[in-house]
Chains A and B, each alone.
Chain A
Amino acid sequence: MQHVDGNSLAGPLAEFLAFDVTMATARCNGCGDTAELARAMVYTSGAGTVVRCRSCGQVLATLVESGDRAWIGFSGVSAIEVRRPGS
């Protein structure tokens, strides 16, 4: 099967990447717990923001910000369920 390049993501992924983070549900790939991100444990320091699983403490996500650049990592999340607007 042929693949297409990442420009084709503009429609489908852009729609979902504008999701309401606190409403989204993430699955921890450490312990398998599935919970709204609003219930995760968040540690904030000057170096960055670290989101940890409420059940096992594993890092789910990170956010590093510097001026006009930011790095968003979901190293500990296997998938995120988002609510589709208008459904």
Chain B
Amino acid sequence: MSFISRGFSGRSRERDDRLPPGQTLVHDFPVLSAGPTPDIDTADWEFTIRTESGVHRWNWDEFTSLKIDDVDTDIHCVTHWSKLGTKWRGVSLDTLFEDIETEQDYVMAHSYGGYTTNVPLDELLDGKAWVAFEYDGEPLDPEHGGPARLLVPHLYFWKSAKWVRGLEMMDQDEPGFWEQNGYHIHGDPWKEERYW
């Protein structure tokens, strides 16, 4: 018995350790938007990666035929909520960049509706980021970024661009939408990189 109770307390301490500083646990999924929710038919959807050598393109059928990962991860919003153990399905950025050669180290993510956010390329690779199109076993709801959103769970959630439509490679790190308007250029929740 004592072994079991020690196991339980160990596990609950571990759960607390998953909350970055200044964050509060939530069980719902708050919606944050900087504009109207775009209505995107998957028949019209496409995803592009633009590098110095050209544009790589996938339509919905091509994209969802790629290797799909199941992702179980914690997410942290800069507005002080965190949600633990969220379940997603999507295509890893490692898969998308498999056949892409680029010397450019920085990425600007572009969304339907005009939103942008910047992330260094090395923070998108090695199992750190996905383009997700399912959440909790269902197609991703438009208000949460469907048909597909970027998922970069180790950074604050504004970096996980909703309605993502493409990645543009850049020579230098440049600020995206919120990063130009007060939010941190990098956004690591464990360092509380919230604002300038």
Q: Which residues of A does B touch, CB under 8 Å? A: 43, 45-48, 50, 52, 57-59, 62, 64, 66, 69-71, 73, 75
A85 to B182, CA, bound (A): 31
**Chain A residues, Cβ within 8 Å of B195:** 64, 66, 69, 71
Q: Which residues of B does A touch, CB under 8 Å? A: 30-36, 77-79, 114, 158, 177-178, 180-183, 194-196
A71 to B175, CA, bound (A): 15
**Chain A residues, Cβ within 8 Å of B77:** 46
Knowing A46-B79, A47-B78 are in contact, say whether A64-B183 is a contact too (CB < 8 A): yes
**Chain A residues, Cβ within 8 Å of B178:** 47-48, 64
Residue in chain A with minimal CB distance to B34: A50
- Main SS class of interface, A: strand
Contact status B158-A47, CB under 8 Å: yes
Contact status A45-B32, CB under 8 Å: yes
**Chain B residues, Cβ within 8 Å of A48:** 34, 178, 181-182
Residue in chain A with minimal CB distance to B33: A45
25 contacts between A and B (CB under 8 A): A43-B34, A43-B35, A45-B31, A45-B32, A45-B34, A46-B77, A47-B78, A47-B79, A47-B158, A48-B181, A48-B182, A50-B34, A50-B35, A58-B114, A59-B114, A59-B177, A62-B181, A64-B178, A64-B181, A69-B195, A71-B181, A71-B196, A73-B182, A75-B180, A75-B181
A40 to B195, CA, bound (A): 26
